[in-house]
Structure 1
Amino acid sequence: MTRRPFLMPLPQGEALRQALVAVIPRLETERLILRAPELADWETLEPIWRTDRSAFIGGPFDEEEAWLDFANAVSGWLLRGVGYWTVARKSDGAVLGLFGLGIETTDPELELGWLLVAEAEGAGYALEAAAAVRAYAFDTLGLPSLISMIHRKNTRSIALAKRLGAVEDEGAVPAIYRDTDTAYRHTAPTSNRRNTDAIPTGQNDHD
């Protein structure tokens, strides 16, 4: 494989990297661990962006576009205190996807998003991981609601959103995406809504 310098760790920065990783919440479910992303994860995650698996989020992407989208997702931890986790299987540590919370330049509010490697489909991992992220958003952060922006033809993600109990919310879709995407709203139980101004909301002016 061609050596790619941008994937090489920097020994001089390792202590700070470890300190940052230590403060990112670690979530566990029956079968999964949601942990801080690492450079080594990219070898497994990259095909999500570089193949037709990314067709519903604007792909396939070239190497630079793929890396920048990944970097954007994980940078939320530093910039906002929330971000995306690498999802790994407990039994063998295999990387299964990237799930988390983020907001892109055209998103009207915080989004629950997910990306799963092809080999992980059909085992219920997506539901398990997404439910863990949502529970963290509602129970730990106290957020009142989240959206998931989904391409209208992405039947798998729409089915997942519905299984999570999310309800379609066309009003949350930015105008530039109304022809292609819809939004599903996840709403916290009333007893959990203690921090209603914790997420940015705005006029509907994406994943």
Structure 2
Amino acid sequence: MTAIPTIRTARLTLRAPGPQDVAPMAAFYASERSRFVGGPKDAEGAWRQLAAEIGHWTLRGYGHWIVEETATGTACGMVGLWNPEGWPEPELGWDLFDGFEGRGYATEAALAAREHAYGTLGWRTAISLVHPENTASARVADRLGARPDSTFTHPAFGTVLIYRHPVPEACC
């Protein structure tokens, strides 16, 4: 199994997903906040999603971290690198749990994840898939310096915007 690194930012800890995340994942996927990332889902569906998140690390050597507020240890979302079968190319994605939006956490964690992708993994590019109605996610992509590039039509998620991140030399 791939050793999942822990990354710390000024306010956040990006750590490996695990069994302690079943309840926060179930709450997230039961809410309307999950509508742009395959939800809502029942508790079993959320459990399966958590298993997929963990398995992605083994299959690809990277994946989503659970984002915690360092000061409280509270799980506040998932951020990381994603490229399942059928994806157009490796993605940098972010999902905040209810009550943690509006604090800059998605941007802070995504910057750390992108630095890992470009620095440690040697990626030369990254995309973020954003549903056209998800204006909050589009604002995060903008803050990260990503720009609309094209679209991608997924059989389950529909047509989404592809935001292209700056190359490593331009951002990191």
Answering whether residue 54 of structure 2 is matched by residue 65 of structure 1, we say no
Which of 9, 27, 30 aligns to 1:47? It is 27
Distance in 1 separating the partners of 2:157 and 2:61:
29
SS of residue in 1 equivalent to 2:123: coil
**Equivalent pairs: percent with the same residue?**
41
Aligned to 2:60: 80
Q: Is the 8 A contact 1:127 1:164 kept in 2?
A: yes
What amino acid maps onto 1:159 in structure 2?
R
Residue 160 of structure 2 is aligned to residue 181 of structure 1: yes
Which residue matches 1:5? none
TM-score for both structures, normalised by structure 2 = 0.90
Consecutive aligned runs of 4 or more in structure 1 exceeding 3 Å deviation: 174-180
Distance 1:189 1:60 in 2: 35
Rate the CA distance shift 1:86–1:58 in 2: closer, same or farther, 3 A. closer
User: What amino acid is aligned across from residue 184 of structure 1 in structure 2?
Assistant: Y
User: Which of the residues 126, 131, 149 maps onto 1:169?
Assistant: 149
- C-alpha displacement at 1:43, in angstroms? 1.2
CA displacement 1:120-161 (0-9 Å, x = unmatched): 111111110011101110111110111111110000000100
Q: Which has the larger strand fraction?
A: 2
Q: 1:179 Cα deviation (Å)?
A: 5.8
Cα RMSD, aligned residues only: 2.1
Q: Does 1:101 align with 2:81?
A: yes
Q: TM-score with structure 1 length normalisation?
A: 0.76
Of structures 1 and 2, the larger Rg is shown by: 1
Equivalent residue in structure 2 for 1:116, among 83, 86, 96: 96
**1:46 is aligned with what amino acid?**
A
CA contact (8 A) 1:144 1:187 kept: no
Amino acid at match of 2:9: T
| CA shift in 2, pair 1:43/1:176, >3 Å | closer
* Equivalent residue for 1:128, pick from 105, 108, 123: 108
In structure 2, the CA distance between the partners of 1:175 and 1:102, relative to structure 1 (3 Å rule), is closer
Aligned match for 2:71, one of 75, 91, 95 = 91
Deviations 1:29-68 (A, max 9, x none): 0011111112112212222111111111232112222222
User: Is contact 2:67–2:78 with CA below 8 Å preserved after alignment?
Assistant: yes
Maintained 8 Å contact 1:108/1:174:
no
Q: Which residue of 1 aligns with 2:8?
A: 28
Which letter does structure 2 place at the counterpart of 1:118?
A: D
Distance change >3 Å, CA 178–CA 85, structure 1 → 2:
closer
Contact residue 106 and residue 174 of structure 1 kept, 8 A? no
Q: Which residue is equivalent to 2:131?
A: 151
- Displacement, 1:27? 0.5
Is the Cα contact below 8 Å between 1:24 and 1:35 reproduced in 2?
A: yes
